[in-house]
Amino acid sequence: MSSRYTTTIGLEIHAELNTQSKMWCGCKNDPYEEKPNANVCEVCMAHPGTLPVPNKEAIRKVIQVGLALGSKIADFTEFDRKNYFYPDIPKGYQISQYLYPIVSGGAINGIAITRVHLEEDTASSSHDNEGYTLVNYNRAGVPLMELVTEPVIHSAEEAGAFARELQRILRYVGASEANMEMGQMRVEANISVSKDKTFGTKCEVKNLNSFKSVEDAIRFEVERHIALIEEGGKVVQETRGWDEVKQETFSQRKKENAHDYRYFPDPDLPKMYLHEVFDIEAMRKEIPELASSRAKRLTVDYALKSDIVEIIVNDRGTAEYFDTLVSGKDSAYANLVANYLVVDVFGLLKKEGKALVAENFPSHTAFSTLLAMISANELSSRGAKDLLPFMLADKSLDVKKTAEKKGLIQTNDTEALKKIVTDVIAESAKQVADYKSGKESMFMYFVGQCMKKSKGAGNPQLFQELLKDALA
């Protein structure tokens, strides 16, 4: 039944920009401030007679986002007033952009972006206070960008992937922390279904505070629309909320139209010719290589597994850390680094409750030394794992000296190892008999015994060779 329908989705995504100060005043932009109304002033509280001054850093960040998305950066741009009356918007209008957004065009994963504009966030209201609504103005006037896509997305998964990729890009260019749970990135999904080439009536779903909710809400809405149409009913254009507990959408309000907002250019703010204020071409050159392109490069150059690549490129600092370590090295080396980083270093950091960020990784020098010692057979993988905690605790650790001090240097001294092999065989008469009567799995027991006798210092490869000779 549902296969006869085409699903159409367009996303509107807001992200709080991580500037030092708010959009129109000098108040601190701090999403972590817990004291209500701590970061407020006459401007963001909309006292009469106050005037806004645009935050240049916020405009710069939106341009950076546009450059990363391959969009067109406007020459001319201006701010507009979007009029509506609600306690969370103290001026009685929100300063936004209407006809001349800073950014237009561009794409993520082939999905066309309509525009990215700059506006201000609202205050946050809390309603569950015995009949009162409390309003906290810390967030009022925080720079907020809004990205709008064309209605060209056709599945929940595609929409989720778009939002995840946008989050990575925002973090890569340093425009926003884009944490969905914190409300730093907020996704609204417009959804419609149709049996022919014309668009069906859309509903907009809000309050989606995780990527999973985005996908779940879209799937729910698609099914709801199809069921409605199949019963002979009609979809009503409206704004809906997402109930995380019930896993369903619910009607919030019938959608207002653009003319209800009576947009007009804000006379208190200057019109801007961006190319006169910013060196856009210089900014373009400063855009870092993005995660998706890094992932492709690392896969091609080093044949790394895709799940490991995704973990490495997900965070820009980690990706750059990794790139520095493996640049000019071969695939075997890169795979070794990737494994020690993603499995062992990450494992240790998680155990210590530390963030998985480059500042907490071992120094490049220490890591390179460790790998050189492994390649030279001076260190077993066991020894390497034992050294890592010391490397994390002390960034300037002398890895080689520590390995010596802790007795972790691997012995490649064939004569010494031969002696151990002889001893182990002499002490394991029964196991040797078993082995010789065909129980080949016994072999690893002997290797284990040898490693134990050498206190982990013997080279396991060498032990294996020597054991094979001795047992032949």
Which residue number is nearest to ligand ADP in terms of Cβ? 10
Rounded-to-integer distance, Cα 8 and Cα 200, Å: 8
Half-sphere exposure of 443 (CA within 13 A, CB side): 16
Least separation in angstroms between residue 17's CB and ligand ADP is: 20
13, 23, 27, 123: residue in contact with Zn ion (rule CB under 5 A): 27
Q: Is 151 in the site for ligand ADP (CB under 6 A)?
A: yes
CB of 198 to ligand ADP, least distance (A): 9
Dihedral sign from CA coordinates of 137, 141, 143, 147: positive
* Tokens 């006379």 sit on residue: 267
Restricting to residues 4-63, name those near ligand ADP by CB under 6 A: 8-12
Inter-residue contact 187 to 212 (CB < 8 Å): no
74-104 burial, b if ≥16 CB within 10 A, otherwise e? Answer: beebbbbbbeeeeebbbbebbbbbbebbbbb
Q: In the complex with ligand ADP, which residue's Cβ is closer, 61 or 202? A: 202
Say which entry of Zn ion, ligand ADP, none residue 11 contacts (CB below 5 to 8 A, set by partner kind).
ligand ADP
Region binding ligand ADP by CB under 6 A among candidate stretches 2-10, 213-221, 242-250, 359-367: 2-10
Beta carbon nearer to Zn ion, 43 or 205: 43
Q: Interface with ligand ADP includes 192 (CB under 6 A)? A: yes
- Contact pick of 36, 41, 134, 224 for Zn ion (by CB under 5 A): 41
Binding mask 185-224 for Zn ion (x = CB under 5 A): ----------------------------------------
Pick out residues in 193-252 that bind ligand ADP (CB under 6 A): 199, 202
Instruction: Choose among ligand ADP, Zn ion, none what residue 199 binds, the Cβ cut-off being 5 to 8 Å by kind.
Output: ligand ADP
Binding window for Zn ion (CB under 5 A); candidates: 18-26, 56-64, 254-262, 309-317: 18-26
Q: Which does 161 bind (CB under 5 to 8 A by kind): ligand ADP, Zn ion, none?
A: none
Rounded distance between C-alpha atoms, residue 432 and residue 442, angstroms: 8
Q: Is 397 in the site for Zn ion (CB under 5 A)?
A: no
Residues 254-293 vs ligand ADP: string with x where CB under 6 A? -x--x-----------------------------------
- Token output for 253: 């309000």
- The separation between CA 145 and the C-alpha centre of its own chain, rounded to angstroms, equals 18
Tokens 């015995």 map to which residue? 130
What would the two tokens of residue 256 be? 């207002």
CB of 241 to ligand ADP, least distance (A): 17
Among 15, 44, 185, 274, binds Zn ion (CB under 5 A): 44
Minimum distance, C-beta of residue 395 to ligand ADP, in the bound complex (Å): 47
Structure tokens at 244: 């995380």
| Partner whose binding site includes residue 44, from Zn ion, ligand ADP, none (CB under 5 to 8 Å by kind) | Zn ion
312's contact among Zn ion, ligand ADP, none, with CB below 5 to 8 A by partner kind, is none
Q: Which residue from 205, 283, 188 is spatially nearest to 249, judged by alpha carbons?
A: 205
CB of 252 to ligand ADP, least distance (A): 14
Q: Of 129 and 257, which has the nearer Cβ to ligand ADP? A: 257
Q: How far apart are the first and last CA of the chain?
A: 69
In the complex, least distance from residue 12 CB atom to ligand ADP, rounded to whole angstroms:
5
Stretch that binds Zn ion, among 33-41, 94-102, 377-385, 428-436 (CB under 5 A): 33-41
Q: At closest approach, how far in Å is the CB of 211 from Zn ion?
A: 32
- Site size toward ligand ADP, by CB under 6 A: 16
* Spatial contact of 417 and 455, defined as CB atoms under 8 Å apart: no
Evaluated on CA atoms 57, 62, 64, 65, the torsion sign reads positive
Instruction: Give the integer Cα–Cα distance in Å for 211 and 220.
Output: 14
- Interface with Zn ion (CB under 5 A): 25, 27, 41, 43-44
Contact residues: ligand ADP, CB under 6 A: 8-12, 148-151, 190-192, 199, 202, 255, 258
